[in-house]
Amino acid sequence: MARSDVHPGHEFEDWQVWPGAYGTPSVSQAYPRGPRPGLGLDRQTPIASMGSCFAREIKQVLLERGYNYVAEETHHPAARHASAAWERLYNTFSMRQVFEYTFGDWRPELRWWVVSQSGVVQDPYRRVVLYDSLEQAEEDFAQHRRHSRRALSRARVLILTLGLTEIWQDQADGAVICLPAGPYVNQGGDMGRYRFRVSRYQENLDNLERIHQIMAAHNPACHLVVTVSPVHLWATFRADADVVSASCNSKSTLRAAADEFTARHANVSYFPAYEIATILCPLLGRPAHTSGRENFHVNRPTVELIMDNFFAMYGQEP
């Protein structure tokens, strides 16, 4: 317990006070632990994950440490980042669309991009998933929907890693593409129907609520763990903000939405991966991010530190 000269009549738990302030313990490898979250898992608990590239790091550690990671479509290259071939999903719109096509009949007005020069078919809604023909694309996507449904139905814990707020949205039907990349974009495909914009707090919260609504209908036993990716934007499409400010805005907006989302639902928890990387690591005097060409990514020791705290908070400590 700690007392403050500013609040002399109030006693604070150690986790309510900044580490080392007013006689509380100094920072250590363990993130300050508040009340026990309403989630406990062990190595038999089916755990799934999806989201930004940090979801891939979570998957790798869960598998390395012998947890029961839900893995569908293991033959598919797009499945290496998550529990099914969702590829990387950087924004909450792309996540919501996965749940809508998995359990519903989500059909965007323009379903496929066809590269005029080569005839290659590209999925706009998953990051650079390519096919040789429309027939192959439709067949594979039908199989993917079945695998996606199995993964989301089996999971008893689903980790959602929120990445950024910048989106490219179809002006006709509101569908959000993953990002403008791949052969369709590189070989002169028409991007005129898409508008770049920065999504805001309420619409990201609405996307999370829609995901919760769908899971409540199809897998009510599943507990959602929401986290904000500690991977910074490597570039911003914004013309009104620098990349550091744009990255901070993305993370802050998503963190605020995650806080409100968690407060609304007993079966939703927030895990502070972003805070561990951006605050705990500097307090420990250790670099959180890699050096070199991809210095916006967290380094391996930081991933291990984040996951050590994950297991300490929710499950069996390694």
Nearest in space to 291 (alpha carbons), one of 282, 300, 283: 300
Count of all residues that appear for the chain in the document? 318
Nearest in space to 58 (alpha carbons), one of 312, 315, 311: 311
pLDDT of residue 8: 61
pLDDT of residue 7: 62
pLDDT of residue 318: 43
Cα–Cα distance for residue pair 180/29, rounded to 1 Å:
39
Mean pLDDT over 263-276 rounds to 95
pLDDT of residue 27: 74
Residues 6+ apart with CB under 8 A from 137: 112, 121, 123, 131
pLDDT at 174 over 70: yes
Cα–Cα distance for residue pair 228/108, rounded to 1 Å:
27
Nearest in space to 34 (alpha carbons), one of 10, 58, 17: 17
Strand order in the sheet with 121-123: 113-114, 121-123, 129-131
223-261, pLDDT tens digit by residue?
999 999 998 999 999 999 999 999 999 999 999 999 999
pLDDT of residue 4: 59
pLDDT of residue 243: 95
Query: Is domain 41-105+145-166+205-314 given the CATH code 3.40.1410.10 in the classification?
Result: no
Q: For 174, left (φ over 0), alpha (ψ -120 to 50), or beta?
A: left
DSSP 83-115: SSTT----SHHHHHHHHHHHHS----SS--EE-
pLDDT of residue 217: 98
Mean pLDDT of the chain: 92
Q: Which residues pair with 3 in a beta bridge?
A: 11
What pTM was estimated for this model as a whole?
A: 0.93
pLDDT of residue 14: 78
Q: For residue 168, which phi and psi values (nearest 5 degrees)?
A: -115, 115
192-212, pLDDT tens digit by residue?
999 999 999 999 999 999 999
pLDDT of residue 84: 97
